[in-house]
Structure 1
Amino acid sequence: MKSRFLAFFCAVCLLAAAVPAAAALSGEATRASDTLYTLGLLPGEAGSLSAAATRGDAVTLLVALSGCRAEAAADNWISGFRDVPASLQTAVNYASHQNWTSGTTVLTFSPDRPVTANAWFSFLLRMLGYSDKNGDFDVSGAAVFAQRIGLTPQRYEGALTMGQLYESARDALFFSYKDGSETVAERLVRKGAVSRAAANALGLLTPELSARQIADRYTAAVFQIALYRKPIEIDAQSPSADASGFFISSDGLAVTNYHSLEDAIYATVTLATGEVYPIDRVLYYDQAIDLAVIRVSRTSTEGRTTSAFACLTPAENPDVRAGDVAYSIGSPLGLGLSVSAGIISDPSRPVARYQLPCIMNTADISRGSSGGALLNVYGQVIGVTSGAYAYGNSMYLAVPIAPALTADLSGEGWTVAEVTEMVRAASAEDAD
C-alpha cells in the first residue's frame, strides 16, 4: 500500500512539474511575435495573439517592416483621413503617401476595422514593389498571390488575428523585394532599423538553412505534374501518372525530368496553392540525360492569369561533395508536395541509364518525385531528382541541372503531344 502511495505521489509530482513546461511551450505565433519584438519591430510586448488584428495594427507593422520609421516621422504629408487617432497618424500618413495603403473611403481609413488577409498582403506586396495598378496582382486575390510567389508558406483567408499578422510579417523578413536587390531583413539591417547582431542571432542573415526554412521558403516553387496519355483521360480529368517539377524563373520557365513527360499528350501542374496551370511548351528535352525545360502557362485552367511564380535559383558552381547536406522537394506518389533531408553519398556516380554521372544521395524520394528539386543547404538547386537503385537503401539519384541551364531555349518549342510524337517517330526509325 505504501509503495502504491509513493508511486502515486511521484506521478502527481511529475505531472505538476510538467504543467509549467507544457504551458511554456510556445506556438508559431508566439515565436513570430518574439522575433519581431526582439528586432524592435513591435512597439511593445504582444498582447493576445488570438485577438483580431486591425487595419491600424497592420499599417503600424508595415512601416516598421519597411525600416522607414524615421522617414515617416519626418514626412509632413497629410492623408486627409478624418478617423485616424494621433497615435496612428504618422504611420497612416506615410504608408498612404507611399501608396502602400488606401482608405476604406476618401475620408476614412477605418483603423479599428479588422484587417483581412487580402488587405494586409496588398499592403505588404506594394511595400515590396509590386503594383496592383500595373497588374502584378489583384487586391481580391492578394493572399493567394502572396502564397504563389513564396511570400508566405501558407494560405490566409478572411480577417486576421494578431498571431497571423505576426507570422506573416516574420515570414516576410526572408523575402526579397521585387527588384531582387535584398530581403526585407537585409534592408532593415542596411537602414539601421534593426541591428546586425540581433538579425544574426535570430538567423535572419545566415546563409545555411534548416529543413524547416527550406520548406517554408521554397515549396511554393515546386509543383506536381499530372500526365494525360489518352484523350479520354483529359475528358475525364483523370491523369494516368504523376511527376514533379520546379520553376527557375518567375515567368513560368521550369525544369523536370524527360521521363516525367514521356508518352504524354497533355500535362498540367498543380501549385502549393492548389491552382492548376497547363504546360504550354517544351523548350528543351534530352532523353539521355533525362532533363526537360518547360514553359508553364501563366493562365490557370480556371482562366485566372498570374504575373509571377515563385522560383528556385540553380547553384552557379555546385561544389557538391560526399557528406554535404541535401534536401529534396517533390510530390511523392502524387500525394502533394513534401520535403526530405539527407546527405550526398556520391556527387558523381556513373549509372547505366544516364549519359551523365548522377548525384547519389539519401534524401528520400518515391514514385512521383521524378523532376523535383535537390537543393543544397543554401536553397540552391544542385540536381533534379530522377530515380533510385531498386535494390538499395537510401540510394537516390538526381541528374545534374547544368545542361538545362546552358541549353538553347530561344526557340518556340513543342507541345507535350508533339514531343511524344517526335520521340515515337525517332524510335520507329531506329527500329527500322
Structure 2
Amino acid sequence: MKTKLFALLCALALLVSAVPAVSALEGEATRSADILSTLGLIQGNTAGEYDLDAPATRAQAAVMLVRLAGAQADAAADIWIGGYLDLPAWAADSIDYAAHQGWVTGVTPVKYNPNGQLDAGSWFASLLRMLGYSDQDGDFTLDYAAIFARRIGLSTVLFDGPMTRGDLFQSIRDALAFPYKDGSGTVLDRLLEKGLVSRATANALGLLTPELSARQIADRHLAAVFCLNSYRTQKAANAGDADAQASGFFITAGGIAVTNYHSIDGAIAASAELVTGESYPVERVLYYDAGIDIAVIQVSRTAAGHRSTSAFACLEVAPSGTGDVRVGDTVYTISNPLGLGLAVSSGVISDTARQVARYDLPCLMDTADISQGSSGGALLNAYGQVIGVTSGAYSYGNNMYLAVPIDPVLSADLSGEGWTLKEVRDIMVQYKD
C-alpha cells in the first residue's frame, strides 16, 4: 500500500495491497450426499451409508448425469444403442442415452469401461456438455475441463485426478445452482419444472431461498472475483513482480471487469489472478473516473500461459441508488485482503450515502471487513448482486468501511476501444499537470 488519502478528520486509507488460496471444507461429501438423498437423486445402501470414500465409476457418473438432467424417462424410452458390449444392465439405458446425447464417450467404439474409476477431467467434460457447453465448438478443452468448471463457477473446488463418490456428490450438489448455457434456468429449476424434485423439499433445504448465506455467496460467486496485480514499470511486469495488489470482479462472461481507479493508477500493466491460480492480462481500460474511483477493464481471454478461455464467471450488477439498499441490510464482500487471497466477509449497511471529500459521489458505508488489497472488490447484497466496489476505510474508526456505488457502471458506455493502462497513466499525468 503506497497511498493514503485523508478525508475530514479521519484518515481514509485506500485499500490496495497478493495471491489467493482456497481449500475444500471438511464434511462436504456427507453434507452433499444428504442433500442429494433428501432430493431423491441418490440412495444409500441398506445401512443408509453412501460409501463416500469408494472410487466413483464411469457407470455411476453416467447414471448421475442422466438423473441431474432429469432424463431418466427419456433414457428408458430411447431405443438408440451405443454399441458398447460391456454395459451392466442397471446402467445400460443411462450410458446409451448419455452417449446418444454426446455427453459421454467410450474408451473404444465397443468398450465403455463402466467399472473404471472416474477422473475429474472426463466427469466435468460430460457435465459441461450436459449443460450445453461444447468442447468441439471450443467452449473448453478435455484436458482443462475441470479447471474450466472452476473458472466459470460450476464447481466450488478445483478437482483433479481420480474422484471418489463423495467428490462426485459434492460436484453434483454444486451444479444444482448452476444455469444451463442457454439461460433456460438452473439445473435445479429444470428438475423442479419436470416434477422430479419436490419444491417443498428443495425449499426446506434452503435451495430456493432468494437471500443467500455467506457460504452460498462464497460457493456461487468466489470464482467471479480476482486478485489484481499491477506493475508500474516494464521491468516489474516482465519479472512478474507486482508493485501493488488489489481486487476486481467480472461483470460479463467475456471478461469485462470492475475495479477501483486507484487500483490501476500509475500502472502500465496489470493481470487478473483467478481462484484457479491462472493469470490473465488486462488488455484495455474501457471506462475510468478518478473522482468516483471506478475503472472498468477488459481482461484478456488468453492466459499468461497462452491458453484461452471461452468464458469467466461473472456477477450480476444491481443499482444501489434506487432506494433498494437500506441501512441495516445484510451485505457481503469478496476481495483480496492483505494480498493473502480471495476471502469473504459479512456485515450490514450502516449508511447509504456517506459524504466523503475524496469522492464525487456519496459512498456506501458498511461493516463487512476489508483490508489493504481489498480495493476493487465486490460488495454484494443478500441476493448475490453487486451494489458497490470496496474502496476504503476510516483508519481511526471501527467497522467503517466504504464502497463506491456500482451505479455509474450501469450507465457507462463500454462499447468504445478504450485505452491501454499506459495511455491512462499518461493522460492522468497530463491532467494533473
Q: Same fold (TM over 0.5)?
A: yes
8 A Cα contact 1:186 1:205, kept in partner: no
Residue matched to 2:165: 162
Deviation for aligned residue 1:236: 2.2
Residue matched to 1:258: 261
Residue matched to 2:247: 244
- SS, match of residue 76 in structure 1: coil
Q: Cα deviation per residue 1:178-210 (whole Å; 9 max; x = unaligned)?
A: 112211111100011111111111111111100
Q: Distance in 1 between matches of 2:427 and 2:149?
A: 39
Q: Distance in 1 between matches of 2:123 and 2:114?
A: 13
| 1:384 and 2:389 aligned | yes
Deviation for aligned residue 1:43: 4.3
Q: Distance in 1 between matches of 2:218 and 2:186?
A: 18
Which of 113, 118, 140 is the aligned partner of 1:115? Answer: 118
Deviation for aligned residue 1:316: 4.8
Residue matched to 1:326: 331
8 A Cα contact 2:33 2:50, kept in partner: no
Residue matched to 2:414: 409
Residue matched to 2:36: 36
Residue matched to 2:149: 146
Q: Distance in 2 between matches of 1:308 and 1:231?
A: 28
Q: Distance in 1 between matches of 2:335 and 2:93?
A: 46
Deviation for aligned residue 1:73: 1.2
Structure 1's consecutive aligned runs of 4 or more residues displaced over 6 angstroms after TM superposition are none
Deviation for aligned residue 1:423: 0.3
Q: Distance in 2 between matches of 1:410 and 1:208?
A: 33
Q: Cα deviation per residue 1:367-391 (whole Å; 9 max; x = unaligned)?
A: 1100000000100001000001121
Q: Distance in 2 between matches of 1:258 and 1:36?
A: 44
Deviation for aligned residue 1:44: 4.0
Q: Distance in 2 between matches of 1:282 and 1:334?
A: 23
| 1:76 and 2:79 aligned | yes
Q: Distance in 1 between matches of 2:77 and 2:39?
A: 22
| 1:53 and 2:65 aligned | no
- SS, match of residue 298 in structure 2: strand
Q: Cα deviation per residue 1:37-83 (whole Å; 9 max; x = unaligned)?
A: 11111144453111100001101111111111111111111111111
| 1:347 and 2:356 aligned | no
Q: Distance in 1 between matches of 2:92 and 2:44?
A: 18
Q: Cα deviation per residue 1:328-369 (whole Å; 9 max; x = unaligned)?
A: 000011111000000000011111100111000000000110
- SS, match of residue 123 in structure 2: helix
8 A Cα contact 1:326 1:377, kept in partner: yes
| 1:306 and 2:309 aligned | yes
Matched letter for residue 196 of structure 2: A
- SS, match of residue 314 in structure 1: coil
Alignment length (residue pairs): 403
Residue matched to 1:189: 192
> Identity over the aligned pairs, expressed in percent?
60
- SS, match of residue 196 in structure 2: coil
Higher relative contact order (CA 8 A, sep 6+): 2
Deviation for aligned residue 1:233: 1.1
* Greater Rg by CA: 1
Residue matched to 1:104: 107
Residue matched to 2:177: 174
Residue matched to 1:9: none
Task: Identify the structure with the greater helix proportion.
Answer: 1
Deviation for aligned residue 1:231: 2.1
Which of 417, 420, 426 is the aligned partner of 1:421? Answer: 426
Which of 263, 279, 295 is the aligned partner of 2:282? Answer: 279
8 A Cα contact 1:375 1:381, kept in partner: yes
**TM-score under structure 2 length normalisation:** 0.92
Matched letter for residue 336 of structure 1: G
In structure 2, stretches of 5+ residues that fail to align are 1-25
8 A Cα contact 2:43 2:50, kept in partner: no
Q: Distance in 1 between matches of 2:184 and 2:354?
A: 37
Q: Cα deviation per residue 1:229-273 (whole Å; 9 max; x = unaligned)?
A: 122212321111011000000000000010010010110110000
- SS, match of residue 421 in structure 1: helix
What CA RMSD, in Å, does the superposition of the two structures yield over aligned residues? 1.1
Which of 355, 368, 371 is the aligned partner of 1:366? Answer: 371
| 1:212 and 2:206 aligned | no
Deviation for aligned residue 1:137: 0.3
| 1:269 and 2:294 aligned | no
Matched letter for residue 414 of structure 1: W
- SS, match of residue 343 in structure 1: strand
Matched letter for residue 285 of structure 1: Y
